[in-house]
Structure 1
Amino acid sequence: MQFPRALPGLAAADVDRLATVPICTLRGIGAVLTAHLSQLVKDTDGYTDADGAALAGVTLDLVAATLAHHLGALDALTPETRLQVLLRRIDHFIERRLADPDLSPEVIAAAHHISLRYLHRLFQARGGPTVGARIRQARLERCHRDLTDPRLGRLPLHMIAARWGFTDRTHFSRLFRAAYGVSPGDYRNTRNSSG
């Protein structure tokens, strides 16, 4: 990965000092950066030019945060970079815990030592879905994907739903139909008969 020496919130000399230092990517902010980069590489065809520009900014913020953390200078980051890092940590937290039926805005706020009100304000300022809608949307996307996976063809629908945190069959079916315009069973049958 190449990036400009002038990263937000970091002096070029600090970036130079870290150029040859190995950085842990197995835990903490380094793991968040690694997960982000892995996802970018997996889904390159799905990005528009506008998406690419936005993702470049987020990626640079994560690189800056990772380097700053390594320098022990996280507090020296700009407020915008700190906000982007927090949002990325929250997104990563949600992705890792989608299967937990108890995942909720309250759990997310507590895990990140912020108030529930502040969490909602962060998501509102970002302009995307609410926290609850983000969780629901990500779970539905995983179920949608799993319903076309031939390895899971014998797994009952309610078990696929439960794999991603949906504990109520009727509620899951209603949400799936609202999102995709077809019931989960009909979707699976259509996809399997066309494949």
Structure 2
Amino acid sequence: MTTLYARELDVARDADRPHRAMLRGIQAWLEDRLGDPDLTPASIAAAHFISTRHLHAIFHEEGLTVSSWVRSRRLDRCRRELQDPLAAHRPVGQVAGRWGFADAAHFSRAFRAEFGEPPSAVRARATAA
């Protein structure tokens, strides 16, 4: 009986691996393109030869949404760059634009919502250190 259950559990685990593998592949592809302001679920799906609905389903299986994952990764990249003293010469708006945020006000609101402080505060700490 134990062998039967173990086998069935392995089959179930293998059954969702293709989606996990696909998700990881899509996420890796996205990491290389986070700066593209035209990155949309439709363009991501088309690049991977899947439907937009299937793309959303793959992310949903992991408790994610495509847009929130992309936004979170972009914000993380912005925060890293703002913390880097070697990038202190770049204005905050330029950093935001470099990572796909076309609107500085939207970026500032999203940054504050994600990290609890404005991007300028992160930059100020980095330049003070």
TM-score class normalised by the smaller sequence: 0.7 to 0.9
Structure 1 residue aligned with 2:74, among 139, 143, 155?
139
Inter-partner Cα distance in structure 2 for 1:106 and 1:124: 16
> Relative contact order: is structure 1 or structure 2 higher (C-alpha 8 Å, sep ≥ 6)?
2
Inter-partner Cα distance in structure 2 for 1:79 and 1:112: 20
Inter-partner Cα distance in structure 2 for 1:130 and 1:84: 14
- The question of 1:87 aligning with 2:23 is answered yes
Inter-partner Cα distance in structure 1 for 2:21 and 2:115: 32
How far residue 84 of structure 1 moved from its aligned partner, in angstroms, is 2.1
- The question of 1:158 aligning with 2:93 is answered yes
Inter-partner Cα distance in structure 1 for 2:99 and 2:86: 16
Inter-partner Cα distance in structure 2 for 1:170 and 1:181: 15
Could you list the runs of 5+ residues in structure 2 that have no partner in the other structure? 1-13
Other structure's SS at 1:136 match: helix
After superposition, the C-alpha distances for 1:58-94 in whole angstroms (9 at most, x for unaligned) are xxxxxxxxxxxxxxxxxxxx54332222111111111
How far residue 186 of structure 1 moved from its aligned partner, in angstroms, is 1.7
- The question of 1:171 aligning with 2:106 is answered yes
After superposition, the C-alpha distances for 1:138-177 in whole angstroms (9 at most, x for unaligned) are 0000000000111110111111011101111000001001
Q: Give the equivalent residue in structure 2 for 1:121.
A: 57
- The question of 1:97 aligning with 2:33 is answered yes
TM-score (norm 1): 0.57
- The question of 1:112 aligning with 2:48 is answered yes
Inter-partner Cα distance in structure 1 for 2:20 and 2:121: 40
TM-score (norm 2): 0.84
Structure 1 letter corresponding to 2:123: R
Structure 2 residue aligned with 1:148, among 83, 92, 110?
83
Inter-partner Cα distance in structure 2 for 1:182 and 1:131: 24
Structure 1 letter corresponding to 2:37: P
- The question of 1:180 aligning with 2:115 is answered yes
The answer to whether the Cα contact below 8 Å between 2:83 and 2:125 also exists between their aligned partners in 1 is no
Q: Among the aligned pairs, what percent are the same residue?
A: 44
How far residue 125 of structure 1 moved from its aligned partner, in angstroms, is 1.0
How far residue 188 of structure 1 moved from its aligned partner, in angstroms, is 1.0
The answer to whether the Cα contact below 8 Å between 2:84 and 2:126 also exists between their aligned partners in 1 is no
Could you list the runs of 5+ residues in structure 1 that have no partner in the other structure? 1-77
Inter-partner Cα distance in structure 2 for 1:153 and 1:94: 26
CA-atom RMSD in angstroms: 1.2
Flag as ranges the 4+ runs of structure 1 deviating above 4 A. Answer: none
Other structure's SS at 2:83 match: coil
- Equivalent pairs, count: 116
